Chain A
């Protein structure tokens, strides 16, 4: 187990390196760049421009620049934002908690609802509820997230006027209740795809388990149906589900860029979106590499959890 973990962690290093190299090359291909702002300035002399480029290390060949960036990355330094002139690490760390709040809320909501819907639909297979969950799931998977967000804004924000449609806090407010009110719509928007996909997943894997012999044995022993379902069936049905969730969690953070844009949520996705327009490459690089790392980590944790939860699986 320990060896497998170590192996997987070592295997992740070339992946991250590969992604950072490719991202770096693309940033070099991109128009604009750190010196473009100064080059536009007509009063700037060539010598001054050259000095600025030297200062920023832009006179060096690309591979040298990359190694420099990599060396700093290992020390937790992602460079300096062109726009804000502050360390990228600090800018990202400021935004990260906001994204984590949103992702956490969306994830929690999706888990609770998907489990409830999935289990109930499986228990009452082919009932009206089952068909309703199925229909909702189909629609949930067919709706573009941003459109769903807009419709929520329109209905709850504009028509009913009960929930705020943008931002994290009303002006001047900092309370938790205010945050919660602002959180409802974006969290639901972020979670809708998973509510749809996961509830179908939970349903079908629970149905698969429910016909196994040991469930019949448990029932024959006279165990209460509730206990059979929750203790015997669900626990086993959820093993593959853990993997699915583990893989999906980092994708949540990436998908948050859409939700954060729709709801003007000041998180990492929104930061990324803004940095595109501003051509703030160090910020883009930082977020790209961090999210790639999160995706790899999510996959790894999912695999390890799978092995821990299912004693039949042995690694190395």
Chain B
């Protein structure tokens, strides 16, 4: 997963000579990001999908559970633009509502992972010694877990609600970021500006939050984005295996699962939810790649 970096494109090198004086880091990053065509495409796509999901109750032509029993597994028509599913529910409506859960679960779980990763990584890197050793062993332990198996076992114990899916995906996704943050902080804390901060009497907490974390923001943002994409796939997979969000809740994963049982009779049924899911994940990955290039101070352009 790591190390798959996209080289800066030759067309973008024209930007290298431009004067950077007087512009903030965020501004420079945004200008680089804007030149990343795929990332901008991803941003637009994700924006549209989010808009569609948020506005679902207003713009959806039907209710998410509304059944049209005279039109079961109907092909696309004027009344049902994307057809109806095996229970006569409007596919377009459910795709819209499904985005609410799928996108929210992906983002929320990614935020939990990032928060945990930052806290554990910063504490381990800053305090070092036995704290570091203990936390690193714990990370080794977490990484040795066959996560998918363990998630499945967990969901036979706790009820599989949206909140639980978010929580457990978050709890199993923070280890890599923690390692990265720890490594960076380990190196950063030896620099002079940290000595200076300490000399003027800043507390450890203040040094971590005010002086160290701003220097690792790039890693945090990129990791959050990529883990959002990963979590959306994981959520759909859990749905498919029957251990995710309850099957009556419209999510893209649940729609695919329902469609999977009828796809021989109705081959078009898995296409729409699958396509939006893949599009959303593609969009998030594009944004992640663009952010990685834009935030990396060592990229030339």
A positions within 8 Å CB-CB of B: 14-16, 18-19, 23, 26-27, 29-31, 126, 138-139, 141-147, 150-151, 153-154, 158-159, 197, 200-201, 204-205, 207, 240, 244, 250, 254-255, 257-258, 261, 272-273, 276, 279, 284, 287-288, 291-292, 295-296, 299
* Chain B residues in 8 Å Cβ range of A141: 281, 285
Given contacts A197-B1, A205-B3, contact A273 B278 (CB under 8 A): no
Q: Would A142 and B4 count as touching, CB distance under 8 A?
A: no
* A18 and B141 within 8 A (CB): yes
Taking the closest CB of chain A, its distance from the CB of B291, in whole angstroms, is 15
Instruction: Select B267's contact among A15, A154, A258, A273, beta carbons within 8 Å.
Output: A154
Cα–Cα distance between A147 and B255 once the two chains are bound (Å): 11
Chain A: CB-nearest residue to B9: A126
Contacts of B260 in A (CB 8 A): 146, 150
Judging by beta carbons under 8 Å apart, are A26 and B154 in contact? Answer: yes
Q: Which residues of B contact A276 (CB under 8 A)?
A: 152-153, 156, 243
Interchain CA distance A287-B140 in the complex, whole Å: 19
Q: Is the CB of B4 within 8 A of A197?
A: yes
Contact of B237 among A29, A142, A144, A273 (CB under 8 A): A144
A291 in contact with B146 (CB, 8 Å): yes
B221 to chain A, nearest CB (A): 19
Contact yes or no, A254 B149, CB < 8 A: yes
Docked-complex contact A272 and B152, CB < 8 angstroms: yes
Given contacts A150-B263, A200-B4, A201-B3, contact A142 B153 (CB under 8 A): no
Starting from the known contacts A126-B10, A204-B5, A299-B144, 4 additional A-B residue pairs (CB-CB under 8 Å) come to A145-B237, A151-B274, A200-B4, A288-B146
The one of A30, A254, A295 that contacts B153, using a Cβ cutoff of 8 Å: A30
Contact of A295 among B3, B146, B274, B281 (CB under 8 A): B146
- Does residue B81 face the partner (Cβ distance < 8 Å to A)? no
Q: What chain A residues lie within 8 Å of B156 (beta carbons)?
A: 30-31, 276, 279
Question: Chain B interface mostly helix, strand, loop or mixed?
Answer: helix
Contact for B241 among A201, A205, A258, CB less than 8 A: A258
Give every chain A residue within 8 A of B152 (Cβ-Cβ): 257, 272-273, 276
- Please tell me if the beta carbons of B150 and A207 are within 8 angstroms of each other in the complex: no
**CB atoms of B148 and A255 under 8 A apart:** yes
Q: Is B194 an interface residue (CB 8 A)?
A: no
Given contacts A139-B278, A287-B149, whether A147 and B157 have CB atoms under 8 Å apart is no
Given that A146-B240, A147-B256, A276-B152 are known contacts, is A138 also in contact with B145, CB under 8 Å in the complex?
Answer: no
Contact of A258 among B145, B237, B263, B277 (CB under 8 A): B237
In the complex, which residue of chain B has the Cβ closest to the Cβ of A143?
B278
| Residues in B whose Cβ lies below 8 Å from that of A23 | 150, 153
> Chain A nearest CB: distance from B137 CB in Å?
8
Residues of chain A lying within 8 A (CB to CB) of residue B267:
154, 158-159
Contact with A along B269-301 (1 / 0, CB 8 A): 010001001100110011000000000000000
- Is B14 on the interface with A (CB-CB < 8 A)? no
Bound CA span A15–B153, Å: 19
Cα–Cα distance between A14 and B150 once the two chains are bound (Å):
18
B residues with a Cβ closer than 8 A to A are: 1, 3-5, 7, 10, 137, 140-141, 143-150, 152-154, 156-157, 229, 233, 236-237, 240-241, 243, 253, 256, 260, 263-264, 267, 270, 274, 277-278, 281-282, 285-286
CB distance from B112 to the nearest CB of A (A): 20
A126, A147, A197: which contacts B274 (Cβ < 8 A)? A147
Contact B149 A257 (CB under 8 A): yes
A125 and B83 alpha carbons, distance in the complex (Å): 43
Q: A159 — which chain B residues lie within 8 A by C-beta?
A: 267
How near does chain B come to A18, taking the closest CB pair, in angstroms?
5
- Given A19-B141, A204-B4: A254 and B264 interface contact (C-beta under 8 Å): no
Chain B residues, Cβ within 8 Å of A288: 146, 149-150, 153
Query: In the complex the two chains form, is B144's CB within 8 Å of A296's CB?
Result: yes
Highest count of chain B CB atoms <10 Å: which of A144, A150, A154, A276: A144
Q: Which of A30, A126, A154, A250 contacts B157 (CB 8 A)?
A: A30
Give the nearest-CB partner of A281 in chain B. Answer: B153
- CB pair A26–B240 under 8 Å, yes or no, is no
- What separation, in Å, do the CA atoms of A244 and B282 have in the docked complex? 23
B260 to chain A, nearest CB (A): 6
* Chain A residues whose C-beta falls within 8 Å of the C-beta of B281 in the assembled complex: 141-143
Q: List 11 A-B contacts (CB under 8 A).
A: A14-B137, A15-B141, A19-B141, A144-B278, A204-B3, A204-B4, A244-B3, A273-B152, A273-B241, A288-B150, A291-B146
Known: A30-B157, A200-B4. A142 touches B282 (CB 8 A): yes
In the complex, A191 Cα to B229 Cα: how many Å?
A: 19
Tell me which residues across on chain B come within 8 A of A143, comparing CB atoms. Answer: 278, 281
| B283 nearest in chain A by CB position | A142
Which residues of B are found within 8 Å of A204, using beta-carbon distances?
Answer: 3-5, 7
Q: With A19-B145, A141-B285, A205-B3 in contact, do A284 and B274 touch (Cβ < 8 Å)? A: no
Residues of A within 8 A of B243 (CB): 276
The docked-state distance in angstroms from the alpha carbon of A143 to that of B237 is 11
